[in-house]
Structure 1
Amino acid sequence: MTESPLATPAAGTDAPVPAASGARRFWRRLRAQRAALVAAAVVALLVLVALAAPLLTALEGQDPFTYHPSLIDSARGGVPVGSLGGVDAEHWLGVEPQTGRDLFARLVYGARVSLGVALAATVIQVAIGVAVGVAAALGNQWVDQLLSRITDIIVAMPLMIMSLALLAVVPASFPRPVLVTLVIGLIAWGSIAKIVRAQTLSMKGLDYVSAARLSGWKTWRIARRELLPGLAAPVITYAALLVPMNISVEAALSFLGVGVKPPTPSWGQMLTAADVWYQAAPQYLLLPAGALFVTVLALTVFGDGVRTALDPRAASRLRIGTGRKDKDAATATATATAAAEATATDADATKKEATA
């Protein structure tokens, strides 16, 4: 019973043509935003690097865990030997101070942890938020009030403080990347639940949802067949913006020493160890910080592009300055021409009256 896209007549004919599909419209709007496409390419490259980390380190001939004490100068406190932090044919980005571990290997393996934690935490947040939001909107008054108050409590919780408390009491034997993922995902789902609840309440009164209810469909079937497709746009939009936020949270927790523990590499954990080396070995700080900056910026720009492409009002905004410019210019030219002709006619009439 979901409403189908309206057909529009073809140019110069009266015959209707099928409207573009939702995916095609989304892709057309996204292609109009070059910044979002560049950001998407950067994100895809980062994901590819994270997935191909074992292959890339094998090509280099290194791994992220092996110590190389011969590559550091113990007399200078553990500074890497050589220029640019020990960059050479065997160590493409140099080595870590004090340990001599390969910096390139730790950087690409750190991408796996940082991106993996952020994406997995986002999936957990979206799953819980959508379930709670839809249940609150479709439930009775008591269910709505209970779930809404629980959501308010979750939203009011300070994420960093709660994460620090939970991560500090869990045994060290528990895998830290999994623990950080669960903590972020189980604490920060309140905002998306509020968005889903508000959107579901606005959709409940639509004609096709009312028709489904009058047809005897059960609540779960209405939610699955009629409501969830309509929730895809706001959920995807918010999820795209959650990923860079979760990357920043994971980096902050690792930087504070309660996130991913060494020797497991992550960008935040690398920043924690690099805070005292920014003068002696600046690349040790700049490389993970730069990777974090580029990743968060690309994901933020891409998320904003997805939001614009999924916005029903984006089509009119994107047409402004493109196809409508020609029409507006033609209209302005026609108006100016008509005004000039009218002025000339009035002048001729005035001249004739003066002659008479």
Structure 2
Amino acid sequence: MSEALVATEVPEASVPGASGARQFWRRLRAQRAAMVAAVVVALLVLVALGAPLLTALEGQDPTTYHPSLIDSARGGVPIGSFGGVSGDHWLGVEPQTGRDLFARLVYGARVSLGVALAATAVQVFLGVVVGVAAALGNRWVDQLLSRITDIIVAMPLMIMALALLAIVPSSFPRPVLVALIIGFVAWGTIGKIARAQTLTLKELDYVAAARLSGWGTLRIARRELLPGLAAPVITYAALMVPANIAIEASLSFLGVGVKPPTPSWGQMLTSADVWYQAAPQYLLLPAAALFVTVLALTVLGDGVRTALDPRAASRLRVGTGRRQESKADTSEARKPEAGESEPRKSEAAKEGTA
């Protein structure tokens, strides 16, 4: 069987194309919450990428100390109202150090998003490779890789991350190390998803046709199976990003994540735990940034899942249709019937004559 014939037998849902992208975009746009979350995420990404430009506009950087802006007589509280907010320091300065809060906040967005995305990439790569290899291998390979995946899933993530971060030399770049450790200890679930999906896909007719045509295992996996894994992998990866942001913030909060002077939202929360009364904005700003980021990414991930799932998309269409029908019924109920309008007019005319 020729390659062209095999390609035509691939189901449309498993091959990303222009029509599939249009359907996905249409389903995603039908969800208002997901679109709002997408706008928020886009703004956060722009802030993270444009951190040097934004801090240059302010005229500050995240590492310079400003002792003249700190009241040492009061224990290091920023001088001025609202934590030292001014034209030179848009969100004020840190207690004790006087470092610019706005600069540290936007650079912290770069660190948090960068670590989360890198960790998600590691998780997806390891999970897909191990899951596909387990599904396509013989019984012994499947058993071995499945048991390794079970161990990774059962492993307490925070404890393992704390242990690994504690033994690695501090000379290793900390953001890279945090991303690698989160990725290496949390790929088990996506590995199970990839294995289960591959076991289903390899029994389909177009995969059997490719095998009969003489294709090797690697070629079948690359050309036929990986496109079918795209939807579930993208769905789960979209939900892993906010979880990884929370993990990075937790590790930095515990003091084993990103180290000073590199700014991180979790690290800022750690430093702010004793200043929440004297300088509440020092605690509220990184906490709010972390909350908004995780919430927006979670809502967007749920919207992506709904847009990629035909069953969820059909429920969305049914719900939209029912809302439109209910609106139409309400508008029709408000209109007076043709038979009722004439008697009312005639009665009004009689009363006026009398």
Tell whether the 8 Å contact from 1:97 to 1:281 is kept in structure 2 after alignment. Answer: yes
Kindly state the Cα deviation for residue 322 of structure 1 after the two structures are TM-superposed: 3.1
- Mean alpha-carbon deviation: is it higher for 263-272 or for 202-211? 202-211
Task: Return the alpha-carbon distance in structure 2 between the equivalents of residues 271 and 324 of structure 1.
Answer: 46
Pick one of 214, 217, 234 that aligns with 2:215: 217
Q: Percent identity?
A: 83
Letter in 1 for 2:199: L
- Give CA-to-partner distance per residue, 1:94-152, whole Å, 9 cap, x none: 00000000000000001111100000000010001000000000000011001001111
**Could you say if the C-alpha distance between residues 231 and 89 of structure 1 is closer, same or farther in structure 2, counting changes exceeding 3 Å?**
same
Once the two structures are superposed, the pairs formed by residues 295-334 of structure 1 within 5 Å of their partners are: 295-323=293-321
Deviation by residue 1:207-258 (Cα, 9 ceiling, x = unmatched): 1111111211111111111111110000000000000000000000000000
2:102 corresponds to which of 94, 101, 104: 104
Q: Pairwise mapping of residues 1-356 of structure 1 onto structure 2 (< 5 A)?
A: 1-2=6-7, 3-5=10-12, 21-323=19-321
Residue identity opposite 1:263 in structure 2: P
Show CA shifts across 1:78-102 (max 9, x none): 0000000000100000000000000
The aligned residue for residue 349 of structure 2 is none
Distance 1:29 1:174 in 2: 44
Unaligned segments of structure 1, at least 5 residues: 7-18, 332-356
Q: Which moved more, 1:195-204 or 1:210-219?
A: 210-219
Q: Secondary structure at the match of 2:61?
A: coil
Contact 1:125 1:192 (8 Å CA) reproduced: yes
2:337 aligned partner = none
Is the Cα–Cα contact under 8 Å of residues 36 and 305 in structure 1 kept in the other structure? yes
Letter in 1 for 2:48: A
Question: Which runs of structure 1 show a deviation greater than 6 angstroms over 4 or more consecutive aligned residues?
Answer: 324-331
Residue 56 of structure 2 aligns to a residue in which SS?
A: helix
Task: For 1:137 and 1:60, locate their aligned partners in 2 and report how far apart those are by CA, in whole Å.
Answer: 54
Looking at structure 2, the residues matched to 159 and 232 of structure 1 have their Cα atoms a distance apart, in angstroms, of: 26
Query: Could you say what the CA RMSD is over the residues aligned between the two structures, in angstroms?
Result: 1.9
User: Does the 8 Å contact 1:72/1:100 carry over to 2?
Assistant: yes
Q: Which residue of 2 aligns with 1:336?
A: none
Range that drifts further, 218-227 or 246-255: 218-227
Give how far 1:315 is off.
3.2
Deviations 1:298-356 (A, max 9, x none): 0000000000000021332122133467789999xxxxxxxxxxxxxxxxxxxxxxxxx
CA distance in structure 2 between the partners assigned to 1:163 and 1:236 by the alignment: 25
TM-score (norm 1): 0.86
Cα gap change, 1:311 to 1:83, in 2 (>3 Å): same
Decide whether aligned partners of structure 1 residues 267 and 204 sit closer, same or farther in structure 2, where only a CA change above 3 A counts.
same
Instruction: Return the letter of the residue paired with 1:279.
Output: Q
Q: Structure 2: which amino acid aligns with 1:160? A: M
Write the distance in 2 (CA, Å) between the matches of 1:48 and 1:30.
Answer: 21
Q: Is the 8 A contact 1:237 1:306 kept in 2?
A: yes
Q: CA distance change for structure 1 residues 209 and 329 in 2, over 3 Å: closer, same or farther?
A: farther
Q: Which amino acid aligns with 1:95?
A: V
Q: Distance in 1 between matches of 2:96 and 2:328?
A: 70
Q: Equivalents in 2 of 1:52, 1:76: separation in Å?
A: 35
CA distance in structure 2 between the aligned counterparts of 1:278 and 1:188, rounded to whole angstroms: 33
Distance (whole Å) between structure 2 residues aligned to residue 20 and residue 264 of structure 1: 42
Partner AA of 2:109 in structure 1 = A
- SS state at 1:249 partner: helix
What secondary structure is seen at the aligned counterpart in 1 of 2:149? Answer: helix
1:172 deviates by 1.2
For residue 341 of structure 1, what is the aligned residue in structure 2? none
| C-alpha separation in 1, matches of 2:310 and 2:213 | 28
Q: Name the CA distance, whole Å, in 1 between partners of 2:317 and 2:249.
A: 40
**What runs of 5+ residues in structure 2 fail to find an aligned partner?**
1-5, 330-354
Separation (CA, whole Å) in 2 of partners of 1:5 and 1:137: 23
Q: Deviations over 1:18-44 (max 9, x none)?
A: x97111110110010010011011001
User: Whole-Å Cα distance in 1 between the matches of residues 323 and 297 of structure 2?
Assistant: 31
Deviation per CA, 1:245-286: give whole Å up to 9, x if none: 000000000000001111110000000100100000000000
